[in-house]
A and B are shown apart, each in its own frame.
Chain A
Amino acid sequence: EAGVAQSPRYKIIEKRQSVAFWCNPISGHATLYWYQQILGQGPKLLIQFQNNGVVDDSQLPKDRFSAERLKGVDSTLKIQPAKLEDSAVYLCASRQTSGTPYEQYFGPGTRLTVT
């Protein structure tokens, strides 16, 4: 079974620029998550999708972050404009709706550096 795919793996941008990250979850996984992991900390949930609908975006800084999952499969997370404190690894994860209910499968992440 193919894992969660993310691209790009690394991105360096200047503050105030825009950036987008892409995620393709495991086939058949209805639930998709985006996490932000700052160096030395655990991942923090930004947004959760169930199919193409948003379930939880309470921790998403909506003034600059946006995410979509239009067809209920792959997803894009965007930051516009970026700030220095957005430097982090952005992780995408997915989960089955049935079967093992709670395990999340993570992608390799995108390491963002904002200069």
Chain B
Amino acid sequence: SQQGEEDPQALSIQEGENATMNCSYKTSINNLQWYRQNSGRGLVHLILIRSNEREKHSGRLRVTLDTSKKSSSLLITASRAADTASYFCATALYGNNRLAFGKGNQVVVIP
């Protein structure tokens, strides 16, 4: 079944640096979403990009989508210690809102 796959799996950066993580998928999608998960707040929706969009911004987040390469990237600018979390991409097919999640990226931001 279709599934997002993130790369790299783990990232450790200094506070203030940018963090970039990638996601690839196998089939045509309706939209792609990024979620963050940490022990304090559970799984939280960050941003959604539709298949006809190429780039989207939300605060310090920038997501891109390349449907020809079936890949997406999430950029977190000026990282903060509070950004320490696991980040998951999830893809949704046309016709339903079933999400297929990748394995996640562990991001550690060092103060």
Question: Which residues of A does B touch, CB under 8 Å?
Answer: 31, 40-45, 48, 55-56, 91, 93, 95, 101-109
Find out whether the CB atom of A102 lies under 8 angstroms from the CB atom of B97: yes
* Chain B min CB distance to A60 (Å): 13
Chain A residues whose CB sits within 8 angstroms of the CB of B99 once the complex forms = 43, 45, 104
Asked if B44 is at the interface of the complex by the 8 Å CB criterion, the answer is yes
Asked if B54 is at the interface of the complex by the 8 Å CB criterion, the answer is no
Interface residue count on the B side (C-beta < 8 Å): 22
Find out whether the CB atom of B42 lies under 8 angstroms from the CB atom of A42: no
Asked if B62 is at the interface of the complex by the 8 Å CB criterion, the answer is no
Chain B residues whose CB sits within 8 angstroms of the CB of A55 once the complex forms = 96
* Chain A min CB distance to B38 (Å): 11
Distance in angstroms between the alpha carbons of A108 and B38 in the assembled complex: 10
Asked if B11 is at the interface of the complex by the 8 Å CB criterion, the answer is no
* Chain B min CB distance to A98 (Å): 13
* Chain B min CB distance to A100 (Å): 8
Asked if B57 is at the interface of the complex by the 8 Å CB criterion, the answer is no
Are A102 and B48 CB-contacts (below 8 A) given A43-B43, A55-B96?
yes
Minimal Cβ-Cβ distance residue in A for B97: A102
